[in-house]
Amino acid sequence: MHRKALGSGGRRARRGFTMVELAIAMSMLMIGLVSAASATMRMQHLRKQNRERLIAQNALRSIGERVHAQSYRDSLDHPDAWAQNVLAAFGPGGTMQGVFDVEFLNPPSEDQEFPGTIQVIVDETTTDAALGMDLGLPRDLNGDGDAADLDVSADACILPVVLRIEWKGQQGLQEISHGFFVMGY
């Protein structure tokens, strides 16, 4: 009799899931899928951003090596005209026109043709603050004992060079720069 009372007590044996259980399970599954999709999209975005930065860093290294190599050749071939030759190659009127292209990076604006710029400093009074980087400027670049000459392109012993790349990327406008010195050997 006891068995019969339990079996007929209104409680039926369960078969399957209730609608509430299915709704909760589907909600949890959807939250998981949306989270995974969001994480995947963010990782793709970061991958593109890192690729852009790596391209810019490699371009800075490459141009920096070209500047050093040209400077070294010019100091051996024409030691008296070393600074003028460096400027003729990399300055605004030089063969590179003070700019360079970086494949796969878009210039920061429509009026700029190239994302990369080369700035060879010939003014001893230029400051680090004006350049936006620490190079220890102003500095005596021609070895005459003062740092007051406005143009040392004729007799410089050492020249500061600033390379910059500005591009329109995944995160909007981006910039990377590198400053170094070249010298007549």
Q: Which tokens is 33 given? A: 């899928």
Q: Are 152 and 141 in contact (CB under 8 A)?
A: yes
With b for 16 or more beta-carbon neighbours within 10 A and e for fewer, the 53-88 pattern comes to bebbeebbeebbeebeebbeebbeeeeebbbbbbbb
Res 144 pLDDT > 70: yes
- 102-133 pLDDT per residue, tens: 999 999 998 989 999 999 999 999 999 999 99
Residue 147 has pLDDT above 60, yes or no: yes
pLDDT in the model for residue 92: 82
Predicted model pTM:
0.80
Write out pLDDT tens, residues 4-35: 545 555 566 567 889 999 999 999 999 999 99
Domain ranges of the chain: 17-183
d(CA 14, CA 18): 9
The mean-pLDDT minimum among 1-10, 48-57, 146-155 falls in 1-10
